[in-house]
Amino acid sequence: MIVGHQGARFVVRGNTLQAFRYALENGADAVECDVWRLRDGSLAVHHDREVQIGNKKYDIKSFTLGQLKRYLPYVPSLKEVLSLVVEGYKKRLFVELKDPSPLAAEALDKALEGWEMVTVISFYAPQLKRLKYPSKGLLFTVRPLTLRGLVEGLELEWVAPRRDMADRELVGEAKELGLKVLTWLHNRPKEVREALELGVEAFATDRPDLARAWLEKALREGG
Residues 75-90: tens digit of each pLDDT: 999 999 999 999 999 9
Whether the per-residue pLDDT at 222 is higher than 90: the answer is no
For the beta carbon of residue 72, count every other beta carbon within 10 angstroms: 15
Mean pLDDT of the chain: 97
| Domain residue ranges in the chain | 2-220
Sign of the CA dihedral running 75, 100, 167, 30: negative
Q: How far apart are CA 180 and CA 174, in angstroms?
A: 7
What does pTM read for this prediction?
0.97
Determine the distance from the C-alpha atom of residue 137 to the mean position of all C-alpha atoms in its chain, rounded to a whole number: 9
Angle at 162 between CA 157 and CA 168, to 5 degrees: 75
Around 138, how many Cα atoms within 13 Å sit in the side-chain half-sphere?
23
Strand partners, 121: 96, 137
Residues 19-36: tens digit of each pLDDT: 999 999 999 999 999 999
* 1-5, 94-98, 167-171, 218-222: segment of lowest average pLDDT: 218-222
Q: What is the pLDDT of residue 144?
A: 92
Residues with Cβ within 8 Å of residue 36, at least 6 apart in sequence: 43, 44, 46, 49, 60, 61, 98, 99, 104
Strand partners, 97: 35
Helix axes 17-25, 208-220, angle to 10 degrees: 20
Q: What CATH code would you report for 2-220?
A: 3.20.20.190
Q: What is the pLDDT of residue 179?
A: 99
Determine the distance from the C-alpha atom of residue 12 to the mean position of all C-alpha atoms in its chain, rounded to a whole number: 17
Whether the per-residue pLDDT at 99 is higher than 90: the answer is yes
In sequence order, what E strands does 73-199 have?
A: 92-97, 118-122, 136-140, 158-161, 180-183
Residues 120-162: tens digit of each pLDDT: 999 999 999 999 999 999 999 999 999 999 999 999 999 999 9
Sign of the CA dihedral running 167, 47, 112, 5: negative
Burial (CB < 10 A; 0-12, 13-18, 19+), residue 151, is buried
Q: How far apart are CA 78 and CA 75, in angstroms?
A: 10
Angle at 212 between CA 207 and CA 218, to 5 degrees: 120
Q: What is the pLDDT of residue 223?
A: 53
Q: Which helix (H) or strand (E) holds 17?
A: helix 17-25
Is there a contact between 37 and 62 (Cβ–Cβ < 8 Å)? no
